[in-house]
Amino acid sequence: MEAPKFSVLIANYNNAHLIGQALDSIKRQTIQDFEVIVVDDGSTDNSRSAVEAEMASFGGRLRYIYQSNGGVASARNAAIMASSGSYLTFLDPDDYWHAERLEAHAAILDQNEAVGLCCSDFDRLHEDGHVEQHFSRWVPFPNFPFEQRISREDSLRWLLAVNFIGTNGVTIRRRCVQAVGLFTESYRQAEDYDYWLRCAVNTEFYVIPRVLHTYRIHQGGLTKNFLENCEYSQRVVLYFAETYEGFIGSHGLGGAVRSAIARRWYEIGNLSFEGGDIRKAFGSYLTGLRSEISFPNVLRFLSVAARKTIRLGTFGSLSRERLARHS
């Protein structure tokens, strides 16, 4: 039996109420040359019956695999190992694709053999119905190389500056997956960021500035914990810098890596400050200063430290005034 063009990989955990919409968005694709693999990561709801109810409509192209709970990276790895398509692509069970999603990605990968990873823009749908376009928020750079092949070095530079990739908007050529390997299961968050960085070492990227899927923002979801996500992202970058030290040095990426590490320490500091952990905040700022010895970074440290010190002083004055007023 001939392998399909696409393997659509879904890692599911307790999304029985939403996975039907995700699967329906796959059925509506303008390209129908695909297999769908749902790996259920130990769900305790009726996910199995929700998926099985859709099997007949897929005509044998939908597979359901159950495993004990091991996390999203483990579930994605199980789906990768069970897949057979030329192109591997991801869809979370609580999100959905637009009808041309597969066709748009196939057009790029079919015509650009050197490109191993293609990604596209998406809408972020909040629980209150508010919608924002991902690239307009996270890639405010006028020179971002949309709609062109991006070299490994430039892909890494942009990824280190901002993780512009949404997992549901990614398609990866099988040979790239074979070179990169599997997702790192020890990461509770940012396992996708780690994977994109590793992909960039191995292949060229292509970014489509067109909204081709919708991503739901859940108030109780993992993505709500910005501090934890930022800390995991920093862990990913630090490990990447150590593991790929030779590649980074030989391709002139040392400055980009150091800048990314310093910038993320400031982000951790800011989030810690807003959460009330002042000691951790200023400790992170100092670590950020030590991470990159450069004039711009010294200015950044002085600016951040001065602003936070002023805020602390203002808060202290207001607190004393309130105490005096009530004494």
> pLDDT for 277-291, tens place per residue?
999 999 999 999 999
Domain borders along the chain are: 6-224, 226-325
pLDDT band at 319 (very low <50, low <70, confident <90, very high): very low
Query: Looking at the predicted structure, is the pLDDT value of residue 115 above 50?
Result: yes
User: pLDDT value at position 128?
Assistant: 87
pLDDT band at 217 (very low <50, low <70, confident <90, very high): confident
What mean pLDDT comes out for the span 123-150?
84
User: pLDDT value at position 222?
Assistant: 42
What mean pLDDT comes out for the span 117-122?
97
Spatial separation of the C-alpha atoms in residues 132 and 213, rounded to whole Å:
12
For a pLDDT cut of 70, what percent of the chain falls above it? 92
State in words which class domain 6-224 has: alpha beta
Query: Looking at the predicted structure, is the pLDDT value of residue 78 above 90?
Result: yes
User: pLDDT value at position 88?
Assistant: 98
Cα separation values, 58 from 26, 34, 52, Å: 10, 10, 10
Spatial separation of the C-alpha atoms in residues 114 and 143, rounded to whole Å:
22
pLDDT band at 133 (very low <50, low <70, confident <90, very high): confident
Looking at residue 168, the DSSP 8-state letter turns out to be G
The answer to which of 45-59, 60-74, 134-148, 287-301 has the lowest mean pLDDT is 134-148
Cα separation values, 222 from 190, 210, 265, Å: 10, 26, 20
For a pLDDT cut of 90, what percent of the chain falls above it? 85
Produce one character per residue of 155-178: b if its CB has 16 or more CB atoms within 10 Å, e if not.
bbbbbbeebbbbbbbbbbbbebbe
Looking at 121-253, list the stretches that DSSP marks H as alpha helix, in order from N- to C-terminal side: 134-138, 152-161, 174-180, 191-202, 226-243, 245-250
> pLDDT for 220-253, tens place per residue?
544 348 899 999 999 999 999 999 999 999 999 9
Q: What is the pTM of this model?
A: 0.92
